[in-house]
Each structure stands twice: as structure tokens, then as C-alpha cells.
Structure 1
Amino acid sequence: MTTRMQHALPIVLSLALALTAILLPTVQSNARAADAAAAKAALPLVIYSDGQATSGYIPSGWMGNPSAIKYNPNCTTHVRKGATSCLKIAFTAGDGWGGIAWQNPANNWGKMQGGFDLTGAKHLVFWARGKTGGEQITFGYGLIGKNQPFHDSSKGSVKVTLTKHWKMYSISLKGKDMSSIVTGFFWTAGAKGSPFTFYLDGVKYN
């Protein structure tokens, strides 16, 4: 070994150790996220039904213009036949948009371990109606992308135009990886010049 190489070797080793110290925590963090198994959920899993919401998914992810969103989980008007209450959601602004994500744990945008293993679920179903009809709402599950350490294992959504009558909607989960769902349900909508109100019930995985 030449004298020049002998002098350079400690420098190379120091750089290698420094690089390892920088990268190792990130690698370990990603590994922990990848290895974290979501808790297995019993099916059917009810997100909301007739005033009951015990799934573990929390409507904590208020989006867009949160101050314009009014949330009433115990509405007793316009209820579905056979029910005593429903979920009433109003967006009071005439412009902009709003939305709510049901998350586990609360306020989890992919930074915390959580979610549920919904493997075996065939459909995400829900009942909805508008106050006046014509309200265009996007409903779905899974919002957290793979750029976050604890992301949703799959996503799905449907955009519907509501009527004044209750109607059941269904999102097929066929072929979907449901092993880690952080965002169990969500809705988003734009005001399009006027406020809007709609109602939900019977939101569940089966």
C-alpha cells in the first residue's frame, strides 16, 4: 500500500461511517413502517349507522374549508326508513370545497401506525341522499399515498349525484389490497356557487 493510499484510507472510512449514520435511521424507520401489521378487523365493520360509530375510524380529517363544515351525527330529520337518526353534513360556504376523512387513529395522515386489516371485505357500502337533490359528492376510502410511512394499502372512490331520496351505493373491493387501511371512509365536494347539505347512513364494510 502506498503512502498516499494509507493517508486516504481513514478519510474514506470516516465518510462511509458518516453516510451510514445519516441513512440508517431512515432505512430503519421505513422498515418499521413496512413491517407494522394493522390490527385485523371483524367484518362487517360499521363506520356509521343510525347514530352508532364504533369501528375505530374517527371523522377527524377535516379538509378544504373546515370552518364551513357542519357535522351532526344524530340528525332526526330525513332519516332512512327503519332508522331513528342519520348523519347530516352541511357545507355553509358558497365557494371552495370541503371534506372529512375517517381516520385511525384520529388525525392520522400517514405519520402514525394505525389503520385496520380489512382483508376479506368485498364492498364498502353506504346510503346517501341530498337535501334538495343534485348535490355532487365524491365518496371513498384510502387517501394516504406511498410517500408516507404508514400509507393506505389501496384506494377507491365514486362520484355520485344525489337525489332527495335515500339510495345505497357500493364500492367494489375486488382485487384490492385491504391489509392496511388508515382512511376508512371519506367524502369531498365543491360548493359550486351555493352551500349544500346531504345525509349519510349505513356506512360499512362487508
Structure 2
Amino acid sequence: MQRDKRFAWAWAAAGVVAITGLLGACDPEDDDPAPAPTPDAGTRADAGTQQPTDAGTQTDAGTRADAGTDAGTQTPTDAGTDAGTQTPTDAGTETDAGTETDAGTETDAGTETDAGTPTVVVVDGNWFPSGYFGSNNSAEAGNIKEDPCPGSRPEGARGSCHRFTWTPSNGEAWAGVIWQYPANNWGAEDGFAVPSWATSVSFTAWGASGDEAVDFLVGIGAPDADGFERKEAFRLTPEPKQYTIDVSRVRGSLVVGGFGWVSGAGGKTAPVVFYVDDIHWH
């Protein structure tokens, strides 16, 4: 009897095992022989998801802030400013290439100061040595004689070279010549318009024997003429020497007497012979 009970329990246990096997064979989860748990592989949170902090997000890969700003963006301060922009101070500006200051400007080529425009006003040709005067009316008496200068002139001399001979007579105390504009104008007409930059009058003079006393002057002092006269006394040497008279106070004026000279006899009757050349305002 006891044996029969053990036999029955054995068959019952076998039946439970069999039923369990059948239930396992019918389990729907056994259809996938190699299951891939969702949390470990292929989930949206781990690989290929759209979460912004792991992979493929806008922040880590392909975003404008990370891998699109320095290359290909239009940000003007990174990859578009130094190359290809129109910034005028970098490439092709007026200062770097072709500007008036660097190439072809009036200051560098063809300006009034550098080339083509005079920086001096030559006295001969603008004023004329027509105004003879003296204590005894030397012009009418013919006591002043003008001749061309013999020999060579100083290098670069402008205008004409003049040789003057004054022979005092009849107690004549002084005599001289004024370069006038126009000729023979003592103030009835306007003078020559001197540019404002001309502040000095220079000339070259020398004496036939040396030690000739001659005053050189600019302007006619009469109120109806220039209203000014700048005169300086010189003792000439036998060698040509340049002299200058300052006329800065009268620049920009209409000048009747552009240049002149006067000499005194000093009680002598011997002729006074001297030369004057290259007379110009500058």
C-alpha cells in the first residue's frame, strides 16, 4: 500500500514537469531567440536618441554652436570678415591701393610746388626799368646809361642782366631807376598783383671796381603808388653776390615798383658802374 502511494506521487511530479515544459514551449517571450533588453541596447535614451546631451543632439554634434560656427556660418567676425568682406581698411581700400595720397596725387606729381608752376616771380618781363629819377632829373639829362652785361651770367640766373653807369654832373647828388608796372607808371594805374607766398626779393649784384655804394629798394612810397618802400644799403664787391630784401609785410599787394636802385655821388663826379642780375620775388 505504501509502495502504491510513492508510485502515484512520482507520476504526479512527472506530470507537473511535463505541463511546465509545455507551458514554457508556448511562452510568447521565447519567440525572440536573442532578446535585446530595451534599457541596454538600441534604446532612444542610449543610442540615436534625440536627447540633447548624448549623441547626435543639437548640442554635441552638428549644432551651429559646435560644428557649424567656425566653418560655413555667416558669422561676420569668424569666417567671413578677414576673407572676402568689403571692410575698407583690409583689402582694396583707398588708403592701401590707388589712393590720391599714394599714387598720382597732386602733391607727388605735377603740383604747383613740385613741378610746372613757378615758385618765383621774375622782375624782368613783369616790371620794366622805365622809372628814371634823380636830384637833377637824371632821366632827361641822360646821366644814367643802361647796357647789357658782358661775359657770362651767374648759373641759373633769371630775367636780364643790367649794367648801369651813372655819371653825376652839375652837382647832382643822387639818381636811380625803378622797375615799374606798367612801364612809366608812377601810381596812376594799379600795380602788378604779387602772389601772397612771395615774401622776399633777391638779386645778384657786383661793382665794376668794388666798393660802390648802392641802395636797392622795393616799392614806391608815394600814397598814390604803393604807399610803402623797403630800401637797404649795400657796399658792392667786384665778385657777384646775392642779396635779399624782406617784403613779407606787403605780400599779396598790387605793386607798382617791383624793384629799384638809387646811388649817391658823395660829392664825386666819377662814374658809378655796377651790375644787377637775376632779380626775382620768391
Give me the TM-score of the superposition, normalised by structure 2.
Answer: 0.50
Larger Rg computed on CA atoms: 2
Q: Which has the larger strand fraction?
A: 1
Shift of 1:155: 2.7
Q: Which has the larger helix fraction?
A: 1
Output the CA distance in 2 between the equivalents of 1:91 and 1:110. Answer: 25
**Deviation per residue, 1:125-173 (Å, 9 max, x gap):** 0000001111111101111422x1xx21543111100011111100112
Do the aligned residues in 2 keep the contact of 1:125 with 1:170 (CA within 8 Å)?
yes
**1:86 maps to 2:161:** yes
**1:111 maps to 2:181:** no
Structure 2 equivalent of residue 34 of structure 1:
none
Structure 1 equivalent of residue 255 of structure 2:
181
Q: Could you list the runs of 5+ residues in structure 2 that have no partner in the other structure?
A: 1-117
Structure 2 equivalent of residue 129 of structure 1:
206
Structure 1 counterpart of 2:143, one-letter code: A
Structure 1 counterpart of 2:232, one-letter code: V
Output the CA distance in 2 between the equivalents of 1:113 and 1:129. Answer: 32
**1:141 maps to 2:218:** yes
After superposition, the Cα gap between the structure-2 partners of 1:196 and 1:112, relative to the gap in structure 1 and judged at 3 Å, is same
Alpha-carbon RMSD across the aligned residues, in angstroms, is 2.3
Structure 2 equivalent of residue 76 of structure 1:
150
**Deviation per residue, 1:15-53 (Å, 9 max, x gap):** xxxxxxxxxxxxxxxxxxxxxxxxxxx641112xxxxx3
Q: Secondary structure at the match of 1:175?
A: helix
Shift of 1:83: 6.0
Shift of 1:180: 1.4
Do the aligned residues in 2 keep the contact of 1:87 with 1:200 (CA within 8 Å)?
yes
Output the CA distance in 1 between the equivalents of 2:155 and 2:120. Answer: 21
Q: Percent identity?
A: 32
Structure 2 equivalent of residue 99 of structure 1:
176
Do the aligned residues in 2 keep the contact of 1:75 with 1:88 (CA within 8 Å)?
yes
Do the aligned residues in 2 keep the contact of 1:134 with 1:163 (CA within 8 Å)?
yes
Output the CA distance in 2 between the equivalents of 1:81 and 1:120. Answer: 24
1:171 pairs with 239, 242, 245, which one? 245
Output the CA distance in 1 between the equivalents of 2:185 and 2:247. Answer: 22
Aligned residues: 155
Structure 2 counterpart of 1:197, one-letter code: V
Q: Counterparts of 1:143-162 in structure 2 under 5 Å?
A: 143-146=220-223, 148=224, 151-152=225-226, 154-162=228-236
Q: Counterparts of 1:18-37 in structure 2 under 5 Å?
A: none
Do the aligned residues in 1 keep the contact of 2:199 with 2:251 (CA within 8 Å)?
no
Larger RCO of the pair (alpha carbons < 8 Å, separation 6+): 1
After superposition, the Cα gap between the structure-2 partners of 1:109 and 1:82, relative to the gap in structure 1 and judged at 3 Å, is closer
With 63-72 and 75-84 compared, the bigger mean Cα shift is at 75-84
Shift of 1:78: 6.9
